[in-house]
Amino acid sequence: MAMMKFMNYLLLGLVVFTALLVWSRNWKRKQAYYEKIRSNPDNLKWVGENLTGTEIKDIKAVSDRFGLPMLQAKQLIDFYQQNKK
């Protein structure tokens, strides 16, 4: 009985570890894609030309254009606004 309990905990630990590993790799891949978009001057030019001044519309437009999550779209807009000065 103790061996079965140990095996259940071990399997549960492996499932949690695997889930965290997959999540981490997906997050790193999204960050790499964001960095690739951010480093391209044409993309920043597009962001500058298509900002409307309405934050929600701008975030949605950038998100749709580049396929980014809303948080990273907001970060891209903020990055553009910081660097245009």
In the predicted structure, residue 41 carries a pLDDT above the cut 70: yes
Q: Who's near 48: CB < 8 A, 6+ residues apart?
A: 80, 84
In the predicted structure, residue 61 carries a pLDDT above the cut 90: yes
* CA 47 – CA 84 distance, rounded (Å): 11
The whole model's pTM is what?
0.68
CA quadruple 59, 60, 65, 68: dihedral sign: positive
Structure tokens at 34: 């964001």
Average pLDDT, the chain: 90
* CA 35 – CA 63 distance, rounded (Å): 14
pLDDT band with cut points at 50, 70 and 90 for residue 85:
low
What is the percent of the chain where pLDDT is above 90?
55
